[in-house]
Amino acid sequence: MKTRIKKDLDYFAKKPVRLGYTKEEDWAHRYLKLQGFPYRVDRRGNIFLTVKGRKKKKIIIGSHLDTVKTPGLYDGTVGVVLGLEVLRQVEDPEYTIEVVAWRSEESTRFNKPCMGSRSMAAGLKKKTLFYLEPHIEQGPVLWDKKIPFGVVKNLAAAVRYRFVVKGAYAHSGTTPPAYRKDALLAASKMIQKKNKATIGCLSVLNESINTVPGEVEFKLDLRDYNLERRNRIEKKIIGDFKDIAKKESVSLKYTVITREKPITLDYKPLGAFFGRSKVKWSYITSGAWHDAGIVKQAGINTQMLFIQNKGGSHNPTEEIKIDDLNIAAGLITEYVTSYK
């Protein structure tokens, strides 16, 4: 089992950058088609591998195979690989077991997450007993506390904005600072007032070394698992940005790219199972959004398991322990085959 898991991970590591709905993500999905299980592909390109059970109700395990532009090797991939290993282990299950690889979970290409699950999860509600998403923790908590597993209680959710700052293009040598309407200077002051939000995209339009920037665009990501607190911070950020725009004599326009609500998952059954196990674990909140959030919004019982990871995420320093994945695969197999 340990060898199979490592073999799967090593295969996906051959092409570590796989943006959503690209030939690289297609390549990763083709690997699943070669594993010997019946499969289906829906109209959004999500792939489902199946081991039929004695009852019609199904349990779905899964995650995603697409990545950001600076990925590690385990974000999303671990969940699909663990699901695949469960399919290899189960024999004559009571419920049908399916493993899904959702398309384009990351926001990298389209500025919106969970493109595959977003429009298809609702159609799974009638026949699905529950959905389980194994995933690396993308923060430091479990690794720092030396806890291999975390049962996720909540998902934080993001509101995302596109901001456009417009000033006036001007000659860099002939326009004194007091006469400038520098869009980049104004944007940089806004960025310093971003509070706990993240600004990972910034563009200077018509950039030139000898021209005062006249237009700048940047995108902001603000997330929290407490909606009231997020709303309060969001309001303050917008207010601060407007004040800066007025002071710097530039215009500010903004649009919401996406707005999600924090989610509470159905964590109690999985927590009870881990409570009976002999492994070290804890409850945890996810600061990241996942396909699990979309599935939960569709009205499906949704559970999530984190595996400790060193090095954070969305960078090449992600680091897991194969032994943790080996244990996780066995536990998940036991959980789904004994679920009542």
Q: What is the pLDDT of residues 223-255, one digit of tens each?
A: 999 999 999 999 999 999 999 999 999 999 999
Average confidence score pLDDT of the chain: 96
CB 133 within 8 A of CB 121: no
Q: What is the mean pLDDT of residues 145-154?
A: 97
**Per-residue pLDDT tens for 55-86?**
989 999 999 999 999 999 999 999 999 999 99
DSSP 163: E
Say yes or no to pLDDT of 1 above 70: no
User: Other CB atoms closer than 10 Å to residue 206's CB: what's the count?
Assistant: 9
Alpha carbon 299 to chain centroid distance?
19
Alpha carbon 151 to chain centroid distance?
17
**Per-residue pLDDT tens for 186-222?**
999 999 999 999 999 999 999 999 999 999 999 999 9
Say yes or no to pLDDT of 14 above 70: yes
DSSP 316: T
Domain 2-156+262-338 coded CATH 3.40.630.10:
yes
Which pLDDT does position 4 carry in this prediction?
95
* Residue 340: pLDDT band with limits 50, 70, 90: confident
Concatenated DSSP letters of 83-108? HHHHHHH--S-SEEEEEEEES--SST
The domains of the chain are located at 2-156+262-338, 157-259
Own/partner pairs, 187-195, CB within 8 angstroms, 24+ separation: 187/163, 187/216, 187/218, 189/244, 189/248, 190/163, 190/165, 190/218, 190/240, 190/241, 190/244, 190/245, 191/218, 193/237, 193/240, 193/241, 193/244, 194/220, 194/237, 195/222, 195/233, 195/236, 195/237
**Per-residue pLDDT tens for 273-330?**
999 999 999 999 999 999 999 999 999 999 999 999 998 999 999 999 999 999 999 9
* Residue 2: pLDDT band with limits 50, 70, 90: low
Nearest to 101 by CA among 153, 25, 155: 25
Which pLDDT does position 311 carry in this prediction?
87
Dihedrals φ, ψ of 33, to 5°?
A: -65, -20
Distance CA 118, CA 121 (A): 6
Nearest to 253 by CA among 265, 263, 268, 238: 238
Q: Given this structure, which CATH class describes domain 157-259?
A: alpha beta
CB 219 within 8 A of CB 163: yes
Enter the tokens of residue 51.
Answer: 């081991």
* Residue 112: pLDDT band with limits 50, 70, 90: confident
Contacts with 203 (C-beta within 8 Å, 6 or more apart), sequence order:
216, 217, 218
Concatenated DSSP letters of 185-215? HHHHHHHHT-TT-EEEEEEETT--TTEE--E
> Which amino acid is it at 2?
K
Rg from Cα positions in the chain? 23
Contacts with 305 (C-beta within 8 Å, 6 or more apart), sequence order:
132, 133, 134, 135, 149, 150, 151, 152, 270, 328, 332
Write out the H or E segment, with its range, that includes residue 51. strand 47-51
Nearest to 63 by CA among 302, 224, 297: 302
Contacts with 339 (C-beta within 8 Å, 6 or more apart), sequence order:
59, 95, 129, 130, 269
Q: Mapped to the 3 state alphabet, what secondary structure does 234-298 carry?
A: HHHHHHHHHHHHHHCCCEEEEEEEEECCCEECCCHHHHHHHHHCCCCEEEEEECCCCHHHHHHHC
Model pTM score: 0.87
Chain position carrying tokens 């998940």: 332
